[in-house]
Structures are given as C-alpha cells and as structure tokens.
C-alpha cells in the first residue's frame, strides 16, 4: 500500500487511539432502510474530541519541528478547530492565538460566550476578531500580521492556514482514519455500501477520500456541504486531493467522479439550522444518546439518514461522526425544537 511520504511526516500523537465503529441499531429501526453505522471520531480524546484531533497531530508535528512556541489559527466563533488547537497548545506548553471570523450573523450571548468559546478561554487562548466571514485569504493574511507582531516580541509563531494553497497537513490525519477504518471493517467482516461525511474546509473529506482510494477501497463517499454550495465545494475537494498527492509525492488516486458532494442540507447557510438537521440531531440524541451539532455532524447525519432511508435492508451506511459537542451549548435557542417534549413515538 503506497502512501508516499506519510510515515515521514512529523506528528504529535495526542489523540485517543482507534475510535469505535458502532452499529446504530435503534436509529436504524426508526429510520428504516439500510443499517446505520458510525465511526465515532467524536470520542477522540482531548477537550471534547472531534475530527480536528487527527488533523492537528500533523500541524503540531510541523510546529514542533520548526521550534515554535506559539500557534495561531482562524475560524468561526464556534470553531471546533480553534477549540482543539487551544487544547493541543495547552498540552504542549505553547501559547495559542485564535482569530474568530464573523461567519454567523448573531449577537446571541450564548453563541458569543458559551460552547467552544468558553472552552478556549478556560484553556488560556488569546482571542482576536476578524470582521469578515467569507474571506479566507484575508483571514489568513491577518493571522500573518498577528504572527509578525509576535515575532517582533521574540516569539516563534506557527500559523495554521485554512485557505487552499498551503500544505494540507490536516488532511493527512484522515488518511490515517481511512486505514484505521479499513482495518476495522476487515476485522469485523463488515461490508459498507456508502459513507457520509461533512465537507467544509476539505481536510477531512479530501483526506479520507484520498486515503480510501489510495488503499484500494472504492466505497462510494458523499461529502455533505456545510459551508458552500456543491458547485464550489467539488473543485475545492479535487484541489485538496491534488495538494495531498503533491505533499506526499505520489500519484493522485482520486478521480473526478470519486468526488461527490451534496448541498441539500446546507441551507440556510453555515452554522444555521434547518429541519432535516434538527431532526437528525433529535434522532441521534433520542435513539442513540449520541450528540450531534448544527454546524457539521448534524448536517452530515441528515445526509446519512437520507442515504440509508433510500437503500434496502441488508445494506450498510456509515456516518463519520466529526464531533462538535461543545457547540450545542451555543445553539440553545436554535435547538428549541430538539428539546421539546414530543411523546414516545415522535423521535
């Protein structure tokens, strides 16, 4: 199995090891159709876990290799990536600077102060703000300005860029996830017919797709858009896969037809809830005691439920649970429908 230079890339292992592959029996019965399974990356160790743990192991590996003492990252106010960057920095004794972008137009105090923001403050992160929400290049450039100021003070900053055009180190964590999953499927003698995953920056979706194809798996994978329309997301994922191949100095195993994205559950936009997402969150909690967030995992679970509901019994649909648990505490008002008392059969 050729994965290029993957084994040579610097990595700091702070995750919780192999995450469970769990059959969602009650949810499958309620939804009907194909059986639902979950790859529980929400159970990664460290500060409420989530998919960003795998990604940050490579970013912090690079930061340590460069002798950095400070790390900077940009993201939405309720970014899971920012929260876990603060966690890695705390564990490794680094200073952490977080730039919050205005991606969700709200002054709700819960959104501004609770959830991931509260956790970041508890771990000692220094918070900055950026007025735009859809200017990735501008957000990255402003991070560099902050980093220049830190350098002038004698610090050694490492910047985690989110826009395309930078080495996709985080995506490597989901090549690891692909290898881990395929080993679990082999051990369990389990056939998966379709996989649903959230598709945002492209690191998780692109890395996982790249890894699965590089390792010989042709299981269909659908990325559910959480930030931009499918017509914009597909070329982004194709670009991520090309960047991964360049980074690892290997041929790109991903064909254009492998990149499948769906924006059916995106509206009304990033970080905003809709009925299918609310339903997915409610079903996850009431059927499996599994917490889903409105930004990523709720929308991709809505996709998984749709896939499974349109497939016959005997098939298996896998949901990649990317976490986001602290975010639910920032969406109390938006999740009012989830918390209503609906009766025994209204799951």
DSSP 8-22: GS-----S-SSPPEE
Q: pLDDT digit string (tens) for 228-268? A: 999 999 999 999 999 999 999 999 999 999 999 999 999 99
Splitting the chain (347 residues) into consecutive groups of 10 residues, what average pLDDT does each group show? Answer: 91 94 98 97 95 98 98 96 98 98 90 96 97 90 97 97 92 98 98 98 97 98 97 98 97 98 95 94 97 96 98 97 95 79 48
Q: How far is CA 145 from the centre of its chain?
A: 26
Structure tokens at 311: 């497939």
198-207: b (≥16 Cβ within 10 Å) or e:
bbbbbbbbbb
299 near 312, Cβ under 8 Å? no
Taking CA 216 as the corner, what is the angle to CA 215 and CA 217, rounded to the nearest 5 degrees? Answer: 100
- What was the pLDDT predicted at 344? 45
Task: Give the end-to-end CA distance of the chain in Å, rounded to a whole number.
Answer: 44
Is the fold of 6-50+169-339 the same as that of 52-160?
A: yes
Helix, strand or coil, per DSSP, at residue 216: coil
pLDDT in tens, 146-187: 999 999 999 999 999 988 889 999 999 999 999 999 999 999
Residues 269, 308: contact at Cβ < 8 Å?
Answer: no
Query: Interior CA angle at 311 toward 306 and 315, to 5°?
Result: 120
Those residues whose C-beta lies under 8 Å from the C-beta of residue 314, and which sit 6 or more positions away, are 34
CATH of 6-50+169-339, one of 3.90.550.10, 3.40.50.10190, 3.40.50.620, 3.40.50.1100: 3.40.50.1100
What pLDDT, on a 0 to 100 scale, did the predictor assign at position 341?
Answer: 54
pLDDT of 222: 98
Position 1 scores a pLDDT of 64
Record the tokens describing residue 331, joined without a space.
């969406």
Q: Which residue in the list 28, 79, 201, 300 is annotated as catalytic?
A: 79
Question: Who's near 250: CB < 8 A, 6+ residues apart?
Answer: 2, 3, 4, 5, 214
How many other CB atoms are there within 10 angstroms of residue 113's CB atom?
Answer: 12
Give the separation between CA 125 and CA 12, rounded to whole angstroms. Answer: 20
Tokens representing 308 are 């499974």
Would you say domain 52-160 falls under CATH 3.40.309.10? no
79 is catalytic: yes
Cα–Cα distance for residue pair 215/179, rounded to 1 Å: 7
Judge contact between 194 and 224, C-beta under 8 A.
Answer: no
Spans of all domains in the chain: 6-50+169-339, 52-160
């Amino acid at each position: 199995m050729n994965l290029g230079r993957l084994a040579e890339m610097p990595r700091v292992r702070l995750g919780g090891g192999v995450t469970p592959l769990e059959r969602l029996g009650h949810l499958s019965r309620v939804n009907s159709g194909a059986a639902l399974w979950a790859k529980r990356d929400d159970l990664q160790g460290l500060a409420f876990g989530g998919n960003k743990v795998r990604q940050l192991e490579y970013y912090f590996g690079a930061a340590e290799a460069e002798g950095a003492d400070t790390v900077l990252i940009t993201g939405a106010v309720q970014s899971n990536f920012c929260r876990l960057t603060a966690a890695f920095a705390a564990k490794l004794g680094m200073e952490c600077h977080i730039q919050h972008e205005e991606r969700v137009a709200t002054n709700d105090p819960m959104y501004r102060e609770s959830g991931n923001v509260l956790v970041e403050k508890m771990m000692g992160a220094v918070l900055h703000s950026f007025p735009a929400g859809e200017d990735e290049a501008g957000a990255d450039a402003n991070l560099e300005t902050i980093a220049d100021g830190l350098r002038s003070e004698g610090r050694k900053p490492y910047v985690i860029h989110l826009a395309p055009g930078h080495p996709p180190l985080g995506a490597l964590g989901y090549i690891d996830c692909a290898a881990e999953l395929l080993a679990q499927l082999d051990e369990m003698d389990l056939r998966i017919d379709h996989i649903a995953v959230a598709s945002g920056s492209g690191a998780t979706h692109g890395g996982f797709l790249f890894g699965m194809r590089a390792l010989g798996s042709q299981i269909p994978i659908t990325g559910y858009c959480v930030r931009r329309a499918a017509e914009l997301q597909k070329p982004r994922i194709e670009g991520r896969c090309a960047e991964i191949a360049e980074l690892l100095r290997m041929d790109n195993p991903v064909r254009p037809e492998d990149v499948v994205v769906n924006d059916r559950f995106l509206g009304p936009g990033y970080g905003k809830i809709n009925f299918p997402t609310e339903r997915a969150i409610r079903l996850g909690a009431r059927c499996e005691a599994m917490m889903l967030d409105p930004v990523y995992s709720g929308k991709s679970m809505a996709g998984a439920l749709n896939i499974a509901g349109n497939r016959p019994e005997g098939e298996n649909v896998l949901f990649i649970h990317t976490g986001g648990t602290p975010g639910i505490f920032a969406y109390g008002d938006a999740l009012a429908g989830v918390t209503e008392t609906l009766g025994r059969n209204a799951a």
